[in-house]
Amino acid sequence: DGGITQSPKYLFRKEGQNVTLSCEQNLNHDAMYWYRQDPGQGLRLIYYSQIVNDFQKGDIAEGYSVSREKKESFPLTVTSAQKNPTAFYLCASSRQGSSNSGANVLTFGAGSRLTVL
């Protein structure tokens, strides 16, 4: 079945360490996204990518970095510069095109929960 796989599901990090969250999709979607979820705040966009080798900052990109070397993969690195990294991180993907074609319908992974010790 097609879908999005995020790993690890749970991750613990010491302060000052960088960590990388994996996101892989087999939906043949062009666009991929990373969101951060905190209690009571909904989802906030960190980075998004419309095509391979291209990505743009979202609303809260500071302290994060991404790469898009393959269509299927969009890993997120949480750097030591992110001052409050404890959160639930969600990866999503969508098709390209107009809203009527369903391009703005997101398919989500199951998420990765990062805790800073």
Partner 1 sequence: AQSVTQLDSHVSVSEGTPVLLRCNYSSSYSPSLFWYVQHPNKGLQLLLKYTSAATLVKGINGFEAEFKKSETSFHLTKPSAHMSDAAEYFCVVSAGGYNKLIFGAGTRLAVHP
Residues forming contacts to partner 1 in the complex (CB under 8 A) are: 4, 6, 31, 33, 40-45, 48, 50, 56, 58, 88, 90, 92, 94, 96, 99-100, 103-106, 108-111, 113
Residue from 18, 60, 53, 11 nearest 32 by CA:
53
Least Å distance, CB 112 to partner 1, is: 10
Q: Quick one: DSSP state of residue 52?
A: T
Choose between 26 and 56: whose C-beta lies nearer to partner 1. Answer: 56
Choose between 89 and 116: whose C-beta lies nearer to partner 1. Answer: 89
Burial of 6 (0-12, 13-18, 19+ CB in 10 A): buried
Choose between 28 and 96: whose C-beta lies nearer to partner 1. Answer: 96
Rounded Cα–Cα distance for residues 80 and 18 (Å): 6
Return the bridge partners of 94, or none.
Answer: 31
Choose between 43 and 80: whose C-beta lies nearer to partner 1. Answer: 43
Separation of first and last alpha carbons in the chain: 36
